[in-house]
Structure formats: structure tokens, C-alpha cells
Amino acid sequence: MKLENSKGTKDFAPEEKIVREEVISTLKSVFELYGFSPLETPMLNRFELFESKYAGGSEILKETFSLKDQGDRKLGLRFDLTVPLAKFVGMNPELKMPFKRYEIGRAFRDGPVKTGRMREFWQCDVDIVGTKAMLADAEILAVVNAVFNKLSLPIVIKLSNRKFLEGILDFSGVAKEKRFDAVIAIDKLEKLGENEVVKEMEQKGIPDDVVAKIMSIINIKGGNEELIKKLKGLIKSDVGIEGLKEVEEIINYCASFGVGCVEFCPSLERGLAYYTGPVYEVFLKDFDISSAAGGGRYDQMIGGFLGGGKEYPATGIAFGLEVITEALKEKKKFEKKSVSHVYVIPIKTEKESIKIAQELRKAGIKTEMDILNRGISK
């Protein structure tokens, strides 16, 4: 038998695991600084949870690992931490709102493997449930800014809005049944380029003239204030105008938080079906790798799971632990090889060395002692 890992999974040697734990510790400290409490949910769920129209949509369902238990029940491994959060809130209707939680855990996607994108990966999420206020979205972005400042990684936060996108699709005349196809294609603009995105929309049956109208809006450039002003002159539908107002409101709140790295990006849509308003993605300025965090507002998911018409508006973001760790390794930060602060080497003084090591440990000093009698030269 050949000993190797499954594609898209990896082992983390102690020196790499130490870096990951440093990142997790930083994330936790910032999350709690902003009043988020920890939560843990199962990795394994009933598959019908992911098949719900309020979950991620058909594209992510294709990447969901599925299996059956001995009772022939179909199960799935979670592809993110957002859908399990929605399930938790739905199962615990007595929760006090707004509910602010963070969760750090494994997720799984059977998708392409590349730098920063694995099939088994860790997500680190912060979410706020129970308010429609754009202040909540701005606070999420303030958390993002604080995390990367603490890690000394310069970022840009790209911001858009699904309602604004609806306004673009209204303006362009995209048929209702083709709208999510258009969203999926537009979201690939930065990765694939304009020609490939245009080709994909045309292959999905969106007429050439409609595609041209979409791209004419998407390609408008300018700073945040200038861009919003230009788009307000073009987008006339109520939903599109509402989306632009939400973008403007978040940017203004971010200024109050001291977050100046937010850029309005009309082509940013994020490919999950459950987003209903603001969406955001975080990119590291000095690295040509996958996004380091992404999320948005999903006001219909939790209420949809519950039924009964009660609303549970929510917003949040997921940090990619793998991407952040890779960036820190490239910058040669957190280069610790061991968790120990002191290494005790007995030289024919084992009993005395044990006592010294124990005293150091009692004082809270992480201590390792040589147990192979190698001496100093080894």
C-alpha cells in the first residue's frame, strides 16, 4: 500500500501547526474583542439541509461530499459554516437577538485543488443574526480590518450588493430564469477575464446585446463616491437603488470604524445563492493567491429553513485559514519551530534536571527536557 494523502488534504507538521494556532489565537482574540461568542456545530449533516433552496444552490451542491449511514440515510459533509449556523438558530428559537457568534472548524468541498484552496479546509466565521441594519455589516468589516492589522497583512476589502446586481440585470433585460447563471458568470470576472465571462453568459443563452449591457455597467470605473454617483444615474429600479444605498451606508459606517480599505466592486457577486444584499471579499495586497475571506448578508436562509414567515436577517464572513497561513509563511512571520520556551539538557544530572524542568513548568514556562542523553553536541 502506498502511503499518501487524499487529493486536496494534507498533514500539518508541528512547525506549520504552530503557525496555524497563532492565526487561530489572533482570530479568536479579535472576535471576542468585538463581542462574538464561540459555537461548535457538526461536520456531518442530513443531506437535505444542503439541498434546500435556502442553502448554497446547485453549483455548491455539486461539490458537496455525500455518503450514507447504515440506516441508508443520505448525509453530507458541510461545505461551509453558514448553513449549519442557520440550522442551529432554527433549532434554538429562544436565542436572544442579535446573536453574535464565531465558529472555527473544518469544511469540505469536492472542487478544483490549487494554492490556498483544498478539499478539506478550515473556516473561521463571524456572523450576526437578528438585524437588518447595515451597521452590522460594517462591524463585520471592522473585525476583518482588525484581524489583518494584527497579522500585519495589508488588505483590500471588495464590496458589492446582490440588490444592486438585480438592478443591473433589470437595466440589461436579463430574463428571470437566466439571472443566477449571469451571477455565476459575473463572479468569475477577476479570475477568468472579460472574454471568458462574456462567452459563458452567451453559452448560457443570454443574448449578445443583453451581455453587452451588463458589461457596460460592470466596467464603469472610479473611486467609491464617484462610482456610486455614476451608477445612481443609470440604475433606476427600486431594488437596484436600494442596493446602492446599502453600499454607500456601509462605506460611511466603515469610515467611522476607521476602516479605509473598502472598495466598491460592481463585478463582485460571490457564487452562493443564499446572499440577499451586501457581499464582500478580502484580498491580500502583496500576494497573488485566493481571497483570504469572503461573506455577505443572507436574510432569507434561516427564516426559510424554519417556515412560518418569521424573519431572521443575518450577515457574516468566513476567513480562510489556509490562505492566511500561506501568506504568513511567505512573509516568514511566526517562524517558531517548537512550542517550548526552554530546553533542558541533563548532563549526568537527570534527577536535578527533572526538578528544574518541573519548577519552570510550575512557573508557566513551556519546557522540554532531553530524554535521550544526547548531550549538548547533538
In this structure, how many other beta carbons lie within 10 angstroms of the beta carbon of residue 103?
23
- Which residues touch 27 (CB under 8 Å, ≥6 apart)? 102, 104, 124, 147, 319
- Average pLDDT for residues 291-311, to the nearest whole number? 86
What are the residue ranges spanned by the domains of the chain? Answer: 14-330, 340-378
The per-residue pLDDT of the chain, averaged, comes to 89
Q: What angle do CA 245, 248, 250 make, to 5 degrees?
A: 110
In this structure, how many other beta carbons lie within 10 angstroms of the beta carbon of residue 164?
29
Q: Write down the residue that cell numbers 544526547 correspond to.
A: 374
- Average pLDDT for residues 37-56, to the nearest whole number? 89
Q: What is the pLDDT of residue 55?
A: 75
The arrangement of secondary structure in 14-330, i.e. its CATH architecture, is: 2-Layer Sandwich (3.30)
pLDDT tens by residue, 353-366: 999 999 999 999 99
The most confident of the ranges 101-105, 223-227, 367-371 is 101-105
DSSP string, 85-106: HHHHHHH-TTPPSSEEEEEEEE
Q: What is the pLDDT of residue 225?
A: 92
- For residue 316, pLDDT over 60 is answered with yes
Higher per-residue confidence, 308 vs 125 = 125
- Average pLDDT for residues 249-270, to the nearest whole number? 93
Q: Which of 80, 133, 130 is nearest to 101 (CA)?
A: 130
pLDDT tens by residue, 231-256: 988 888 899 999 999 999 999 999 99
Q: What is the pLDDT of residue 39?
A: 98
- For residue 177, pLDDT over 70 is answered with yes
pLDDT tens by residue, 96-153: 999 999 999 999 999 888 776 789 999 999 999 999 999 999 999 999 999 999 999 9
Q: What is the pLDDT of residue 267?
A: 82
Q: What is the pLDDT of residue 377?
A: 65
Q: What is the pLDDT of residue 247?
A: 96
Q: What is the pLDDT of residue 116?
A: 66
The single-letter DSSP state of residue 117 is B
Percent of the chain's residues with pLDDT above 90: 54
- For residue 378, pLDDT over 60 is answered with no
CA distances from 256 to 133, 135, 139 (A): 15, 10, 10
Q: What is the pLDDT of residue 88?
A: 94
- For residue 370, pLDDT over 80 is answered with yes
Percent of the chain's residues with pLDDT above 70: 96
